[in-house]
Amino acid sequence: MPVHVARPRTREELVETIAAAAGAGRVVKVPGSGHSFTEAALTDGLHIDIGALRGVLDADPASGRVRVQAGIALRDLNQELHRRGLAMANLGDIDRQTIAGAISTATHGTGSRLQNISAQVEAIELVTADGQVHELTEQSDPDGFRAARVGIGALGAISAVTLRTVPAFLLHRVDAPLGLDEVLGDFEALADGNDHFEFYVFPYTEKALTIVRNRFDGPPRPRSALNVFVNEGIMQNVVGEWIFRLTRARPALIPRVTGLASGLLSEGDYIDHSFKIFSSERKIRFTEMEYAIPREHGPAAVRRVLEWISSNRYPVAFPIECRVVAPDDALLSPVYERETFYIAVHQFRGMEWRPYFAAVEEIMGSYGGRPHWGKRHLLTHETLAQRYPRFGDFLAVRDRFDPRRAFANAYTRRVLGE
Ligand SMILES: Cc1cc2nc3c(=O)[nH]c(=O)nc-3n(C[C@H](O)[C@H](O)[C@H](O)COP(=O)(O)OP(=O)(O)OC[C@H]3O[C@@H](n4cnc5c(N)ncnc54)[C@H](O)[C@@H]3O)c2cc1C
């Protein structure tokens, strides 16, 4: 529970607010949209809401470089880019996060040749507790820049970001239910043969829903408003909600319900602007854990999670989401210098997630898994230091930018140490 909430309207007000609070010995935290499942954005000190800092500062369609204020939400960013004939090269599956929140936890989409959102950043403007404004780039401060790209809010307040965008493009999305053996057996070819490949696996079944998205020259062939209303609005969000409520009330029904639900998976095929194809509306409340493991272990890890669920008859009806991401060099990026398979497990709100997530965490640990910073996990800095080759370098950057730990909270103390 923050002691106070500040709402600066300009970068100067942000600088003054931070310097005054830090000078008075207070801790501060700048949250984004509050979409993390971890306590990353929480504080019992000063909560600084930068919702007013959400403009486009500069855009050069020729180079694709676009500078935005840090509080811009991805959905507004997408619209602003689209108006200029530009787009983000890759995005995750919702668009409610702020750009600063998304990069700070290494938010990602899927694509074996594509990196996460923080790797699409060219420069970061960071306000530190002493009121200094740092312009961080690969040239000006290589370690500072690579730390701030995925900084978990621990270094300072990001006030602006320069993005490397690409010319606007269309994506052709095809959804197809397939047998699990087929998907896991063909995984490498499916991942490499498509721009964006992901699949969902249904516990207690041998079914998977594959989603491929590939660049397409056009023309667009979007879903009709009726189709979106029926499939996303009614089937996924309303019917899905009632199915999950039923399984929460009667967990013993879960194997039968997931069997029936996986039989209803439908094919889809449409073409639209990339940002419309990437994100969807998520109305069902759940909690989530996601791990990044070396890509080659992905199919075996999925099998082990399914076996654990079946042998423990664990009540979980939510599908397991599997994606791939190309390596990058941000010091705390879960895909740091390795081809990655992301595996995400979910649990419906109000249902016990701890034993399930703890078991998945143990399986992922056997592959040297690195948790998503914005999703539930139970690791502490002792273990994380072994999973990140440049963990010590990140801590050195933190000592430089935030020696008094003005930006610390319970989460940073757990995952980074005091
Ligand atoms: C329904 C749903 C779907 C999701 N889908 C995906 C997905 O497809 N892929 C994926 O990778 N993740 C996904 N996530 C996770 C989400 O993208 C991350 O948790 C992201 O960090 C949330 O962004 P936010 O703006 O809400 O940031 P918050 O959760 O508010 O904050 C996250 C961190 O960023 C820091 N931060 C935010 N703004 C600043 C700033 N200006 N300066 C310094 N630090 C700052 C905060 O202090 C905190 O440490 C999903 C989450 C939900 C709820």
Same domain, 12 and 117: yes
Identify whether 14 is part of a domain: yes
Structural domain contains residue 376? no
Tell me: do 180 and 153 sit in the same domain: no
With respect to residue 272, please indicate whether it lies within any of the assigned structural domains: yes
Is 377 within the bounds of a domain?
no
Give pLDDT tens digits for 78-118.
999 999 999 999 999 999 999 999 999 999 999 999 999 99
Statement to judge: residues 233 and 304 lie in one domain: yes
Q: Is the pLDDT of residue 325 over 90?
A: yes
Q: Determine the pLDDT at residue 253.
A: 85
Residues 344 and 407 in one domain: no
- pLDDT at site 213: 97
CB burial readout 26-59, b (16+ within 10 A) else e = bbbbbbbbebbbbebbbbebbbbebeebbebeeb
Quick one: pLDDT at residue 242? 82
Here the CATH number for the domain that contains residue 200 is: 3.40.462.10
The number of distinct structural domains making up the chain is: 2
Testing ligand 1's pocket by substitution, the residue of 104, 136, 288 carrying the most ligand atoms inside 8 A of its CB is 104
Q: What average pLDDT is seen over the chain?
A: 95
pLDDT in tens, 236-249: 777 778 888 888 98
User: Does some domain include residue 160?
Assistant: yes
Say if residue 152 is in the same domain as residue 203: no
Amino acid found at 337: E
For the ranges 2-16, 97-111, 275-289, the lowest mean pLDDT is seen at 275-289
- In sequence order, the β-bridge partners of residue 140 are none
Say if ligand 1 is within 6 A of residue 92 CB.
yes
Residue 261 lies in domain: 170-371
Q: How confident is the model at residue 229 (pLDDT cuts 50, 70, 90)?
A: low
Mutate to test the pocket of ligand 1, among 30, 105, 128, 232 (most ligand atoms within 8 A of CB): 105
> Do 178 and 211 fall within a single domain?
yes
289 in Cβ contact with 369 (< 8 Å): no
Q: Could you tell me which residue, 167 or 236, shows the higher pLDDT?
A: 167
Between 254 and 412, name the one with better pLDDT.
412
365 falls in which pLDDT band (50, 70, 90)? Answer: very high
Name which residue sits closest to atom 51 of ligand 1, judged by CA.
35
On the question of pLDDT at 323 being above 90, the answer is yes
Label residue 256 by pLDDT band (50, 70, 90). confident
Whether residues 259 and 391 share a domain: the answer is: no
pLDDT of residue 233: 63
Q: CA–CA separation, 170 vs 215, rounded Å?
A: 6
Atom of ligand 1 nearest to the CA of 282: 1
Predicted TM-score (pTM) above 0.85: yes
Strand pairing of 46-48 and 28-29? parallel
Regarding whether 258 and 125 lie in a shared domain, the answer is no
Do 330 and 270 fall within a single domain?
yes
| 239 falls within a domain | yes
- Residue 261 clears pLDDT 80, i.e. is over it: no
> pLDDT digit string (tens) for 14-70?
999 999 999 999 999 999 999 999 999 999 999 999 999 999 999 999 999 999 999
Question: Are 217 and 338 in the same domain?
Answer: yes
Report the CATH number that the domain containing residue 147 is assigned in CATH: 3.30.465.10
In the predicted model, is pLDDT for residue 296 greater than 70?
yes
| Model confidence at 225: pLDDT above 80 | no
The token pair that represents 84 in the structure block: 């200029």
| 273 & 388 share domain | no
82 domain residue, yes or no: yes
Are residues 330 and 204 part of one domain?
Answer: yes
287 part of a folded domain = yes
Ligand 1 within 6 A of CB of 374: yes
pLDDT of residue 230: 64
The letter for the amino acid at 382 is: E
Report, as an integer, the average pLDDT of 130-145: 98
